Each structure stands twice: as C-alpha cells, then as structure tokens.
Amino acid sequence: MLDMFAQTRLQWEALCLELGLPLIHAKTIYRALFKEGHTDLATLASLPKILQEKLRDSFAGNGATIAKESLSRYDGTVKFLIRLGDGSLVESVLMPEKQRITLCISRQVGCAQACTFCYTGRMGLKRQMTAGEIVSQVWLARQWIREHPEWLEARSYPSFASVSNIVFMGMGEPLDNVIEVSRALHILSDPWGFHLALRKISVSTAGHRDGLVAILEEFPDLSLALSLHATTERERSQLMPINRRWPIGELLDFLRAHYERTGTDRSLLVQYTVIRGVNDSERQARELVELLRGLPVKLNLIPLNEVEPSRFQSPEPGSLEAFRDLLYEAGIRVMVRYSKGQDIDAACGQLVIKTKAEESESISVV
Ligand code: SAH
C-alpha cells in the first residue's frame, strides 16, 4: 500500500495519466484529503470508478494518530503525542499566537546531533520519518482544531482558522532527512492542498551545510532558522558536535553569500539558547555582534529550559538583560523568547519520548 499523505500532486497527476483520466482528478483528491480532511478517498463520488478502485486497492494512510494531547494552562499551547504506524512516538506542538497559529513538527524519531544541552539529543536517532508522517502531523493538528472549536473561540480566532505557520523545530535535525523534508514541503505548500506559503514554513537547523545547499536550491524562498548558541568555533564544538563537521564561520559565510545572491527580503532567524556561565558573558555578546554582521538577522534569545538531570542552568535575569541590551544597542533585532507550553514539557529541547523506566527515573530525581 502507498501512503496517500506522501504523494505530491504531480504523482497523483501521473496516476491519472496512467489511467487515461483528466488531470483535474488529482486536484479533487488533494482538496478532499487536505482541505476537507477526508481520508476515505475511494468513496469520493466525483471520481471515476476506475480511480476509486485504484485508491481502494493501492493507497492507505500511514497509521499516524494522536495518542495523547496536553493543553497548557498558561498559554493554550497543545502538545500532541503522535503514535506512528510502527508504534514509534514523536511530538508536535500547536502554539496560538496573536496573528497566527503555528505548528511545530518533528521529522525524526529522536535526533543524531547530540547537542549537549538538548534533551531530544540524548535519545539518539531511532529512525527517519517519512514525508507522509511529516505531513500527517499537520493533517492531524488541523483535524484536532476542527473538532475543538472551543479552543479557537477561547482565543478569539474566527471559526475557520487553522494552522497558518509551520516550524520544523520539533524533534530531529530536518537537514539530516532532507529528501523526505523537501517532499513534505512540496505537499504542504501545494495550492490545492494546505497551501502554506514557503515563507510561512521555517526550517531550523543546527548548521547542516550540505542540507542547506540542497534545500535552498530547491526552495530559495524558504524561511530559515539557525541554532547558533555559541560564538567561537571551540565553544560551539563543545556544545554542538555538528560544528566539528561544518564550522560556524564557514556556514555563516555561506549564508551571507546566499542572502546577497538571492536578494530575498527574508530574514534569518538565529536562535541562541542562553546558558548560565557558558555563553552569556559580555565578551560573548560582543563576539555575537561581529559574527552576525552582514546577515539579515532576527535574533531570539531563549533562556535554557532546564531538563533534569543536567549540568546546564538558565541564565540569571540580570545577565540575560545585559546580554540582550548589548546586542540591541549594537543595532541587532533581538528578542528574549520564553518557550511556550513549559507546564506540559512542550518547550524547546524538552521534546523527548520517555520510556517507562526513564519516567520512573525522572520521578525519583524530582
Ligand atoms: N535540530 C534543529 C531543530 C531543533 S529546534 C536545530 O538545531 O535547529 C529546537 C531548538 O531548541 C534548537 O534551537 C535547540 O538548540 C533548542 N534547544 C534545545 N535544547 C534546549 C533547551 N534545553 N533549552 C532551550 N532551547 C533548547
């Protein structure tokens, strides 16, 4: 069986051609599946019988379902625990914001990058997710919103509102899975499907140069986020092993060239997790200003979420402020961002699937 969530519209069109049918049926399928939320495509009355049969015999879902949802009492964030077809678990996070509804999605079960302060990184990589599984997270979140009009109402959204922005900031390094991610981007942005503009989709990377080259070639308009977290090669390599493979100096040069060449008005979102005594000094703030020179940067400072047990701590409020002020005075667009959904473990770096043993272990730590 083929995964119906993983097919690009071109593939449905190819199927129509193969069956000698007009291409318009591909749009009907896309609209039914993604705009209207039907999964029983074989019963669509407007499709010819031969196509209905093909759909019944050869296509199915991928089995992803919402296994559990948790609603944050503070900010209305909803964390979904998603069970994939093979029983693997991942998470996506729905975040209500003023003008938009953002869904943070996963693309790997676990992560191979092993950034020292990130809880997901401790899981290691269990497996890559498929394009269909990536797309299904958006489908499931939209369906959930449809079934929970009170969630929209409580936040004064119109009743037709749905996921408007996607960030690839859940579990995993998206550019370690670039083929499936790029396929998912084609599907998510298709005007006959979810129709999410590429500039409303942000792919966050720990600094995977080869992946960036590949994805930008295909989607020059994509919004990018870079997890920086340190200002010298040595310090960054200590926090983020990926820096040994693609040193940050070269990576930023590559990005400078990209923004110059394309002349895009897109900004580069730089994420800097602030860790007490590790990367929050005045010296490091000054180095950060130099490092980011010549890039269209929006800088988010994210105070570290402490995940136990960990040797890393959140910054002192005073040093965080001083750090931000120095950057602000140097002309950088900077914001301190507190992670959403802290009461439901939905915050950055907290996405991790606990096994039973680990759960009881973490209870005994508390
Ligand atoms: N692998 C991609 C996508 C992960 S996005 C990337 O590195 O960009 C998740 C973001 O949360 C990353 O910026 C990550 O570095 C950050 N993060 C990880 N652990 C954190 C923690 N404990 N506190 C705050 N931010 C954290």
**Which of 119, 167, 270, 271 is the pocket-test mutation for ligand 1 (most atoms within 8 Å of CB)?**
271
For residue 199, which of 100, 132, 292, 272 has the smallest C-alpha distance?
A: 100
Q: pLDDT above 70 covers what percent of the chain?
A: 95
Q: How far is the CA of 129 from the centre of ligand 1 (A)?
A: 19
For residue 169, which of 6, 302, 336 has the smallest C-alpha distance?
A: 302
Q: How far is the CA of 136 from the centre of ligand 1 (A)?
A: 23
pLDDT digits (tens, 9 = 90+) for 199-228: 999 999 999 999 999 999 999 989 999 999
Arithmetic mean of pLDDT, 160-175: 96
Q: Supply the pLDDT for residue 266.
A: 86
Q: How far is the CA of 192 from the centre of ligand 1 (A)?
A: 32
CA atoms of 130 and 119, how far apart (whole Å)? 23
Q: Which of 13, 16, 91, 115 is catalytic?
A: 91
Q: State yes or no: pLDDT of 254 exceeds 60.
A: yes
Q: Supply the pLDDT for residue 60.
A: 97
Q: pLDDT above 90 covers what percent of the chain?
A: 86
Concerning whether 91 is annotated as a catalytic residue, the answer is yes
Q: What are the structure tokens assigned to 186, written together? A: 């084609």
Q: How far is the CA of 348 from the centre of ligand 1 (A)?
A: 5
Q: Which atom of ligand 1 is nearest to the CA of 229?
A: 15
**Residue whose CA is at the smallest distance from ligand 1 atom 1:** 173
Model confidence band, residue 361 (pLDDT cutoffs 50, 70, 90): very low
DSSP classification of residue 171: S
Q: Is the CB of 346 under 6 A from ligand 1?
A: no
Q: State yes or no: pLDDT of 356 exceeds 80.
A: no
Query: For the chain, give me the number of helices (H) and strands (E)?
Result: 14, 14
Concerning whether 13 is annotated as a catalytic residue, the answer is no
Burial of 50 (0-12, 13-18, 19+ CB in 10 A): exposed
- Going by their DSSP bridges, the two strands 78-83 and 89-96 should be labelled as antiparallel
Q: Is the CB of 167 under 6 A from ligand 1?
A: no
Q: Is the CB of 300 under 6 A from ligand 1?
A: no
Q: State yes or no: pLDDT of 357 exceeds 60.
A: no
